[in-house]
Structure 1
Amino acid sequence: MQTGWIGLGKLGAPMARHLARHLVAEGHSLLALDRDPGRLAAVPGAEAAGLDRVAACRVAACRVVITSLPDDASLGAVALGTEGLLARMTRDGVLVETSTVSPQTSAALREAADARGVLYLAAPVSGSTATAEAAALTLFCSGPEAALERARPLLSTFARAIHAVGEAEEARFLKLAINHFVGSTAQIAAEALTLARKGGVAWETILAVLGSSVAASPLVAYKLDPLRRRDFAPAFSIAQMLKDMSLAVAAGEAAGVAMPVAALVRDLYAEQDGTDLRDLDFFAALLAAERRAGLGEPA
């Protein structure tokens, strides 16, 4: 029995790697597809499907197909239309979509899946490259219960927690809400920590107090060591957070929810995206705040 996988990016590759290891141990296989064939080497045990029409048909024939794609446009191009994944999948197949995309695109996939007799599960992942490597991601899932039950043994190979949150696009709204919290936290932290530095507080003291204060959280705790080392290697980049904050603002507008804070945070990321910070971790918002305040690296 084969499982299909489409998309082997920063999160998709480690997720697929965990799944492939499990499937091979169970005597099954993972059929993987990516527009960059070189990425397939990062998933030992997976069978490369290639990039042609035959390969697309082979993946679509799998009983369960999991996608991990960068944005709405990529997902629509892969899954929708007369030549798309959903048009090729077999009736009663399961499509699990793990990307962070808009509720509108997800609803379009659900409609196409229903018309085809495919079970569609929106299952956006929450976590970083580090949690993906550790098989400790969190999944928010919405769709038919039967789809989740069939997919759960596969998803549990790379997810620490799987939350069933509804039957339609609830998972998409929840993922964007969580990312709003996370993205906004980084901008608030950048401004607050810069204020403390400008007031003469030593960097080590700032971080020590922050880690033991009421402002501490799992996110802050996770970022303390990189901040201490001034390491902004991207677990999730400024550019990626700009995309997600833009999705959150758009989702709020479509749902009739005022999002003034999200809009401000989005605009801050848009400003930073136009600089050399674009491909650094989203907590590099701190560097932007320090530059505005005329601060260099701490002593």
Structure 2
Amino acid sequence: MSTGWIGLGKLGAPMARHLARHLATAGFPLLALDRDPARIAAVPGAQAAGLDRIGACGIVITSLPDDAALAAVALGPDGLIARMARDSVLAETSTVSPETSAALREAAEARGVLLLAAPVSGSTATAEAAALTLFCSGPDAALERARPLLATFARTIHAVGSAEEARYLKLAINHFVGSTAQIAAEALTLARKGGVAWETILAVLGASVAASPLVAYKLDPLRRRDFAPAFSVAQMLKDMSLAVAAGEATGVAMPVAVLVRDLYAAQDRTDLRDLDFFAAILAAEREAGLGEPDRPE
């Protein structure tokens, strides 16, 4: 029942809280590591631990911001994998490149560690609600052992392969999501420029064939013009860049992904960088010469 956790960011923290609560019912702590000790203190039932204690756990879950952070923590002679025991499980939930994931898998296999690529799909709100989606690829035994723990914060778990399939699927889904925001930015700005009221645009969008769970989730904050970051422009630029790189590496032409990445790159160089990625709407409105819309009191 020894379980370790590394990374308590926007998604990692609520995920870890759900898991720590589950472990606490059986009288076990969650051993946690983060560069900010205050984040560990904010997870009831978590105990701060170094890499040696985390590495001694039977199952370790990581939630890190990018490839560089993951490689720094997990790889090398002093990294996490080198400290893990044979037949222990590393469930890696970050959104990273298939190449970095493959490097982790190679190191894990050399050590006898079972690596489960398990990138998480969802927002901070779905993480708080324990309603995330996981795409999992790796040894069946790894998923079988990790599933009860992953299910404490994920509503849906898809087993999609034995190697890096989960990484490709996560990037594909994020391509859809990131591109949707840029399409919405153009489309909604066109309607506003044509004189349609903001409330009317959103009401029609929500009842149209263009509606989706993503659109439905975003409608309320868009009505309030609330662009607080559930997932920021900077984060989406990172993910779209990973998708473009994956296309290049596999010989898949991705002109739309390149365009969307470049749009996020331009927005990332402005004050929109740390806002929600649907702040692409603000960029389009500014380009069209539009200010804030009139809204009902």
What do residues 59-90 of structure 1 show as CA deviations (whole Å, max 9, x unaligned)? 00000000000000000000000111111100
Q: Distance in 2 between matches of 1:187 and 1:60?
A: 41
Q: Who is 2:236 aligned against?
A: 241
Query: How far did residue 142 of structure 1 move?
Result: 0.1
Matched, 1:130 2:125: yes
Give the CA deviation at 1:26: 1.5
For 2:162, give the aligned amino acid.
Answer: E
- For residue 222 of structure 2, give the secondary structure of its aligned residue in structure 1: helix
User: Structure 1, residues 155-176: CA drift from partner, whole Å, max 9, x if none?
Assistant: 0000000000000000000000
* Structure 2 letter corresponding to 1:155: L
Between the two proteins, what is the percent identity of the paired residues?
86
Give matches, 1:7-18, under 5 Å: 7-18=7-18
Q: Is 1:207 equivalent to 2:202 in the alignment?
A: yes
Q: Unaligned stretches of 5+ in structure 2?
A: none
Letter in 1 for 2:15: M
Quote how far apart the aligned CAs of 1:46 are. Answer: 0.7
Alignment of 1:7-156 (within 5 A): 7-49=7-49, 55-156=50-151
Distance 1:130 1:260 in 2: 31
The counterpart of 2:265, out of the listed 267, 270, 276, is 270
Q: How many pairs does the alignment contain?
A: 294
Give how far 1:48 is off. 1.1
Counterparts of 2:126 and 2:199, CA distance in 1: 26
Instruction: State how far apart, in whole Å, the 1-side matches of 2:76 and 2:227 are.
Output: 40
TM-score by length of 1: 0.98
Q: Could you state the TM-score of these two structures normalised by the residue count of structure 2?
A: 0.98
| Superposed CA offset, 1:256-283 (max 9, x none) | 0001000000000000000000000000
Which residue number in structure 2 is paired with residue 195 of structure 1?
190
CA distance in 2, matches of 1:23, 1:172: 28
| 4+ residue segments displaced more than 4 Å | none
Q: For the aligned residues, what is the CA RMSD? A: 0.5
What is the aligned counterpart of 2:214 among 202, 215, 219? 219
In structure 1, runs of 5+ residues without a counterpart are: 50-54
Correspondence for 1:171? 166
